[in-house]
């Protein structure tokens, strides 16, 4: 249970004064985690990305031009638009003792101007002052205030990332209201440590960022920002070491096998293993045979052949008379793994079953019974494998594919389905070495950097979306020559309904050209429809598959040789790389077309250039990290690295090791978080929603 002290932070944003149902909805869209209502905390963690500095208070004659200033002036004259049309701007002449300036309003509301700027009144106006056509002017001042109003104006105004319909004022007011209600919490940092770095307390840090004293206050290197980043890193590291320690205390069990079964499977393959695959399998086998519990990450770029590594690891425990589970993040992938592996397994006498959320009741019952009595050796499935009703006779190994979709908590749940279950996690996101720790704690890592022989490079090109007609023309020829094509539609504002609409529209357009050779798959489809669409493509019945990013992870159709990505500028590098990895798997030469909407920003341009330069996932991951902080990436939350909200790893990376050491120290001295310091750390875990770890310690 969440400690009551944190309730004000987890209260819905709508409960704040000034946040009505309409703005509330916009905040939910902007900040809601996993489609839930936005909470006060979500806004407080939504740090300003910039500021407007209104502190300069010059006389008009001395004011620097093209800068934001706040000037005290007297209203001299109103000059409504001339002529009968009434168009053109409404000008108000103002002056101080050093000179005059015009305030310019387009499409002005005359009543508002008359009310805010009555003749002769003294006013403070704040905005960008420019020199134009021989005089000073300020177009649409940001603020027009009297003496009273000036007192309330923040001298440095925070600027927030917004969504359409929401204004800075909404975010600023809500942040103020949320701060006003935020509770003072006991500090979970060692006071001497915080002092040495000149870090403020948690609440003071939030205040310093949402009420910046100067523009530097929000810099990622500023003390307040470092403090919060550290808090987030500490929470994640603490959660990781606790889960890890828990696994250790649960103990391990040696699973020994001579390796005949794996050899049989291997000899049934039409190709030989890569050196990297062999090395990974050897490492895993050694882990399985040891008394220690295995927690290993297999990191391999798309197409590096991780599935086979998983199968041979599973074969090891099966040969020892025990069972294995192989978990995929989606139904499509679970089914694909099952269909791929079933014939191989049948040949080698390994019994495998499929368990997803959509099995018929009778089927499911039979599968569950078979698992419980040991009539099945391997269960392949989705998170349905976690459910309580699933029991194994003797589960030895759990393989979790494409791990980033699952939380630590779920890994643990699967680990508890057997006695001392070894866990193998596979990820297609080539995570830079520096970050492996962050995401996986002290897991052992096997890396598949080498790709299977015979892979041809993918010809990657970028072209503006205006040339879509040419692309369609090219597809005609390619389809006639027997090619298959993925056509990926972009994420729109992380809003699935809009994604689907875009994909639907593209589907209909392509149908006009290619008729029923075009298929469609998207996240809003029912599971069975989705499977049917995927299968039709896999069986080469449909030739063009229009998709949202549901195909991003893991899908394998070797005959597909063309990948079209629309609005490539909206995707992150990791995502583009994953998508491109769907082609270049078969004998044919493959092409990836990145359709972009001009003009491209600097960061998007850099991303597209990197895609054209290299297919090395590790290099792309490093570049991604470098570019990440610098541009907005739509859908970045879904892509690659799971997002930290406050820590930006390029800047705060050095704090990671400190957080890790601290987490270990805590675990040694106070494993159940019983001391006062430990109690404060529990708050931290809850604050960053790592309660799965908090659950592991005894309630205090
Ligand atoms: P990923 O690492 O992306 O999960 P897969 O395991 O899906 O990659 O493998 C991609 C493709 O490469 C599959 O069609 C698989 O059969 C094939 N493959 C795997 N290992 C080898 C190998 N050693 N030589 C040739 N092809 C391989
Ligand atoms: Mg895979």
Q: Which atom of ligand 1 is nearest to the CA of 307?
A: 6
Task: Give the pLDDT score at 641.
Answer: 42
Give the residue-averaged pLDDT of 346-352: 95
Choice among 296-310, 432-446, 537-551 with the minimum mean pLDDT: 432-446
Pocket test for ligand 1, best of 267, 272, 303, 343 (most atoms within 8 A of CB): 303
Which is nearest to 101 in space by CA: 150, 139, 154, 56?
Answer: 139
Q: How far is the CA of 102 from the centre of ligand 1 (A)?
A: 69
Same domain, 290 and 324: yes
User: For 403, what's the count of Cα atoms within 13 Å in the CB-facing half-sphere?
Assistant: 28
Task: Give the pLDDT band of residue 442 (cuts 50, 70, 90).
Answer: low
Least confident of 82-86, 350-354, 464-468, 482-486: 82-86
Angle at 669 between CA 667 and CA 672, to 5 degrees: 60
Say yes or no: 598 and 482 in one domain: yes
Whether the predicted pLDDT of 524 surpasses 80: no
Please identify, among 596, 614, 632, the residue that sits at the C-terminal boundary of a domain. 614
Residues of the chain above pLDDT 70, percent: 88
pLDDT score, position 387? 79
Q: Taking a C-beta distance cutoff of 8 angstroms, is the pair 29, 187 a contact?
A: no
Q: What's the confidence (pLDDT) of residue 196?
A: 96
102: nearest Cα among 135, 59, 144, 66 = 135
Give tens-digit pLDDT for 164-218: 788 899 999 999 999 999 999 999 999 999 999 999 999 999 999 999 999 999 9
Q: Atom 19 (ligand 1): residue with closest C-alpha?
A: 305
Residue 228 lies in a domain: no
Q: Residue 281 domain-assigned?
A: yes
Looking at residue 635, what is its pLDDT? 33
pLDDT of residue 689: 85
Nearest CA to ligand 1 atom 9: 305
Query: Looking at residue 16, what is its pLDDT?
Result: 96
Name the least confident of 314-328, 396-410, 457-471.
396-410
* Edge-to-edge strand list for the sheet holding 378-381: 352-355, 378-381, 323-327, 395-401, 422-427, 295-300, 444-448
What is the mean pLDDT of the segment spanning 11-17? 96
How deeply is 72 buried, as exposed, middle or buried, from its count of CB atoms within 10 A (0-12, 13-18, 19+)? middle
First to last CA, the chain: 11
Asked whether residue 176 is assigned to any structural domain, the reply reads: yes
CA separation for the pair 554, 587 (Å, rounded)? 19
> Which pLDDT score, from 0 to 100, does residue 377 have?
97
In this structure, the answer to whether residues 356 and 409 fall within a common structural domain is yes
The residue ranking higher by pLDDT, 656 or 128, is 128
The CATH number of whichever domain residue 501 belongs to comes to: 3.40.50.300
The answer to whether residues 82 and 169 belong to one domain is no
Give the residue with greater pLDDT, 437 vs 658.
Answer: 658
| Nearest listed ligand to the Cα of residue 311 | 1
| Closest residue to atom 16 of ligand 1, CA basis | 305
Q: Are 368 and 269 part of one and the same domain?
A: yes
Residue 107 Cα, ligand 2 centroid: separation in angstroms? 57
Is the predicted pLDDT of residue 470 greater than 50, yes or no? yes
281 and 211 in a common domain? no
- Of the two residues 330 and 377, the one the predictor is more confident about is 377
Per DSSP bridges, beta strands 67-79 and 90-96 are antiparallel
Indicate if the pLDDT at residue 494 is higher than 80. Answer: no
Q: Which atom of ligand 1 is nearest to the CA of 277?
A: 23
Nearest ligand atom owner, CA of 307: 1
Q: Ligand 1 test: best mutation among 267, 305, 333, most atoms within 8 Å of CB?
A: 305
Last residue within a domain, chosen from 565, 585, 614 = 614
pLDDT of residue 231: 97
Per-residue pLDDT for 285 more than 90? yes
Q: If DSSP codes are grouped into helix, strand and coil, which group holds residue 169?
A: helix
Residue at which a domain ends, from 574, 592, 614? 614
Ligand that lies nearest to the alpha carbon of residue 587, given by its number in the listed order: 1
d(CA 198, CA 513): 65
Ligand 1 nearest-atom number relative to CA 302 = 3
pLDDT in the model for residue 610: 94
Please, are residues 230 and 655 in contact by the beta-carbon 8 Å criterion?
A: yes
- Going by alpha carbons, the residue nearest to atom 1 of ligand 1 is 303
Question: Which protein residues touch ligand 1 with a CB less than 6 Å away?
Answer: 271, 273-274, 277, 300, 302-308, 428, 452, 554, 556, 558, 585
Ligand nearest to the CA of 617: 1
Atom of ligand 1 nearest to the CA of 308: 6
| Residues 310 and 415 both lie in one domain | yes
Give the span between the Cα atoms of 572 and 223, in whole angstroms: 29
Q: Does residue 44 share a domain with residue 180?
A: yes
Q: Model's pTM, two decimal places? A: 0.66
Helix (H) / strand (E) element for 191: namely helix 191-196
Is the predicted pLDDT of residue 403 greater than 60, yes or no?
A: no
What are the φ/ψ torsions at residue 424 (nearest 5 degrees)? -120, 120
DSSP category for residue 74 = E
Q: Calculate how far, in angstroms, residue 452's C-alpha sits from the geometric centre of ligand 1.
A: 7
* Model confidence band, residue 497 (pLDDT cutoffs 50, 70, 90): low
Dist. CA 333 → ligand 2 center (Å): 8
Q: What pLDDT is stored for residue 640 in this prediction?
A: 34
Burial class (CB in 10 A: 0-12, 13-18, 19+), 319: buried
pLDDT for res 212: 97
Same domain, 128 and 276: no
pLDDT at 699: 44
Render 280-330 in DSSP notation, one character per residue. Answer: HHHHHHHHHHSSSPPEEEEEE-TTS-HHHHHHHHHHHHHHTT-EEEEE-SS
Measured from the alpha carbon of residue 401, the closest ligand is 2
What per-residue confidence (pLDDT) applies to 639?
A: 33
Expressed in angstroms and rounded, the spacing between residue 26 Cα and the centre of ligand 1 is 44
Which bound ligand lies closest to the C-alpha atom of 585? Answer: 1
Q: Please provide the DSSP assignment of 320-334 as one string.
A: TT-EEEEE-SSHHHH
Residue 440 confidence class, pLDDT cut points 50, 70, 90: low
Query: CA neighbours within 13 Å on the CB side: how many for 189?
Result: 25
In the predicted model, what is the mean pLDDT of residues 517-537? 85
Ligand nearest to the CA of 306: 1
Q: What pLDDT, on the 0 to 100 scale, is given for residue 369?
A: 96
327 occurs within a structural domain: yes
**Atom of ligand 1 minimally distant from the CA of 448:** 2
Q: pLDDT confidence of 388, banded at 50, 70, 90? A: confident
DSSP conformational letter for 183: P
Domain membership of residue 342 (yes or no) is yes
Q: What is the mean pLDDT of the chain?
A: 87
CA distance 409 to 402: 15
Ligand 1 centre and the CA of 307: distance in Å? 7
Ligand 1, pocket-test mutation among 271, 307, 425, most atoms within 8 A of CB = 307
User: Distance between CA 383 and CA 293 in Å, rounded?
Assistant: 22
DSSP 387-411: STT---SSEEEEEEESGGGS-HHHH
| Residue range 95-122, pLDDT digits in tens | 999 999 999 998 888 899 999 999 999 9
The pLDDT score that the predictor gives to residue 352 is 97
Query: DSSP character for 83?
Result: S
Q: How far is the CA of 307 from the centre of ligand 2 (A)?
A: 5
Top-ranked range on mean pLDDT: pick from 257-261, 447-451, 627-631, 642-646? 257-261
Residue 699 lies in a domain: no
Distance from Cα 573 to the centre of ligand 1, integer Å:
22
Residues listed for the chain: 700
395 CA distance to ligand 2 middle (Å): 22
pLDDT given at position 502? 78
Ligand 1 atom showing the smallest separation from residue 558 Cα: 14
| Closest C-alpha to 583, from 537, 635, 643 | 537
Coil, strand, or helix at residue 488? strand
SS3 call for 372: helix
In this structure, the answer to whether residues 132 and 189 fall within a common structural domain is: no
Residue 131's domain comprises 55-153
The CATH code of the domain that includes 122 is 2.40.50.140
- What pLDDT, on the 0 to 100 scale, is given for residue 498? 62
- Residue of the CA atom closest to atom 13 of ligand 1: 305
pLDDT band at 413 (very low <50, low <70, confident <90, very high): low
Calculate how far, in angstroms, residue 304's C-alpha sits from the geometric centre of ligand 1. 6
Full DSSP string of 428-449: SS---HHHHHHHHSS-EEEEE-
What is the 684 CA–ligand 1 centroid distance (Å)?
42
Q: Is 696:246 a contact under the CB 8 Å cutoff?
A: yes
Q: Please give the pLDDT value at position 637.
A: 34
Atom of ligand 1 nearest to the CA of 300: 2
Asked if residue 594 is part of any domain, the answer here is yes
CA distance 87 to 65: 27
For residue 661, being part of any structural domain is answered with: no
Atom of ligand 1 nearest to the CA of 454: 25
Using the atom order of ligand 1, give the atom closest to the CA of residue 272. Answer: 23
| Inter-residue contact 677 to 187 (CB < 8 Å) | no
Among the bound ligands, name the one nearest to the CA of residue 577: 1
Assess whether 112 and 163 both reside in one domain. Answer: no
Q: Rounded to whole angstroms, how far apart are CA atoms 254 and 266? A: 23
Contact 485, 545 (CB under 8 A): yes
The pLDDT score that the predictor gives to residue 696 is 64
Same domain, 290 and 349: yes
Please say whether the beta carbons of 555 and 528 come within 8 A.
no
Using CA atoms, how far apart are residues 8 and 30, in angstroms rounded to an integer?
20
CA of 306 to the centre of ligand 2 (A): 6
Which atom of ligand 1 is found nearest the CA of 306?
2
Quote the number of domains for the chain.
4
pLDDT tens figures, 45-72 = 999 988 999 999 999 999 999 999 999 9
Per-residue pLDDT band for 586 (boundaries 50, 70, 90) equals confident
Note the pLDDT of residue 257.
Answer: 96
> In the predicted model, what is the mean pLDDT of residues 415-439?
73
Report the run of H or E that residue 246 belongs to, with start and end: helix 223-250
């Amino acid at each position: 249970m969440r400690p009551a002290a944190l309730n004000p932070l987890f209260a819905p944003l709508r409960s704040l004064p000034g946040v009505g149902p309409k703005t509330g909805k916009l905040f939910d869209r902007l900040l809601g985690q996993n489609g839930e209502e936005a909470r006060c905390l979500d806004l407080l963690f939504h740090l300003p990305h910039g500021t407007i500095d209104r502190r300069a208070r010059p006389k008009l004659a001395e004011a620097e031009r093209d800068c934001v200033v706040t000037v005290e002036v007297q209203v001299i004259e109103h000059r409504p638009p001339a002529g009968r049309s009434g168009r053109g701007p409404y000008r108000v002449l103002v002056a101080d003792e050093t000179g005059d300036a015009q305030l310019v309003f387009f499409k002005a509301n005359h009543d508002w101007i008359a009310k805010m700027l009555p003749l002769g009144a003294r006013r403070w106006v704040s905005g960008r002052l420019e020199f134009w056509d021989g005089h000073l002017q300020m177009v649409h001042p940001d603020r027009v205030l009297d003496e009273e109003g000036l007192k309330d104006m923040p001298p440095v105004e925070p600027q927030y990332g917004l969504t359409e319909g929401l204004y800075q004022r909404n975010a600023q007011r809500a942040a103020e209201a949320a701060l006003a209600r935020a509770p003072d919490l006991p500090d979970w940092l060692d006071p001497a440590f915080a002092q040495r770095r000149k870090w403020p307390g948690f609440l003071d840090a939030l205040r310093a960022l949402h009420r910046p004293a100067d523009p530097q206050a929000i810099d990622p290197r500023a003390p307040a920002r470092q403090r919060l980043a550290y808090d987030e890193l500490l929470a994640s590291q603490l959660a990781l070491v606790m889960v890890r320690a828990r696994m250790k205390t649960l103990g391990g069990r040696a699973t020994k096998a001579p390796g005949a079964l794996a050899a049989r499977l291997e000899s049934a393959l039409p190709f030989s293993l890569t050196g990297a695959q062999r090395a990974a399998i050897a490492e895993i086998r050694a882990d399985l045979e040891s008394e220690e519990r295995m927690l290993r990450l297999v990191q391999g770029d798309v197409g590096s052949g991780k599935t086979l590594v998983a199968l041979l690891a599973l074969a090891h425990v099966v040969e020892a008379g025990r069972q294995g589970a192989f978990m995929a993040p989606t139904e499509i992938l679970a089914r694909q793994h099952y269909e791929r592996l079933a014939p191989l397994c049948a040949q080698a006498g390994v019994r495998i079953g499929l368990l997803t959320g959509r099995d018929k009741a009778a089927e499911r019952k039979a599968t569950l019974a078979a698992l419980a009595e040991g009539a099945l050796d391997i269960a392949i499935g989705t998170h349905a494998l976690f459910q309580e009703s699933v029991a194994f006779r003797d589960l030895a190994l759990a393989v979790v594919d494409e791990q980033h979709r699952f939380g630590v908590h779920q890994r643990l749940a699967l680990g508890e389905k057997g006695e001392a279950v070894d866990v193998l996690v596979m990820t297609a996101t080539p995570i830079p070495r520096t970050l492996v720790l962050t995401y996986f704690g002290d897991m052992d890592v096997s890396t598949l950097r080498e790709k299977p022989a015979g892979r041809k490079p993918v010809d990657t090109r970028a072209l503006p979306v205006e040339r879509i007609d040419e692309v369609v023309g090219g597809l005609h020829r390619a389809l006639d020559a027997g090619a298959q094509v993925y056509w990926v539609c972009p994420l729109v504002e992380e809003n699935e309904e809009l994604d689907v609409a875009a994909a639907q529209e593209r589907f209909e357009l392509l149908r006009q050209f290619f008729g029923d050779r075009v298929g469609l798959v998207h996240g809003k489809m029912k599971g069975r429809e989705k499977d049917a669409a995927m299968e039709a493509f896999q069986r080469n019945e449909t030739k063009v598959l229009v998709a949202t990013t549901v195909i991003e992870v893991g899908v394998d159709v070797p005959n597909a040789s063309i990948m079209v990505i629309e609005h490539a500028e909206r995707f992150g590098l990791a995502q583009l790389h994953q998508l491109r990895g769907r082609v270049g798997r078969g004998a044919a030469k493959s092409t990836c077309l990145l359709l972009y909407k001009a003009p491209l920003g600097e960061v998007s341009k850099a991303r597209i250039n990197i895609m054209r330069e290299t297919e090395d996932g590790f290099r792309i991951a490093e570049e991604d990290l470098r570019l990440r902080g610098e541009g907005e990436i739509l859908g970045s939350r879904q892509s690659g690295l799971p997002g930290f909200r406050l820590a930006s790893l390029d800047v705060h990376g050095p704090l990671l090791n400190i957080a890790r050491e601290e987490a270990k120290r805590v675990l040694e001295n106070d494993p159940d978080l019983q001391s006062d310091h430990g109690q404060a750390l529990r708050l931290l875990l809850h604050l960053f929603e790592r309660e799965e770890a908090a659950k592991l310690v005894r309630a205090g």
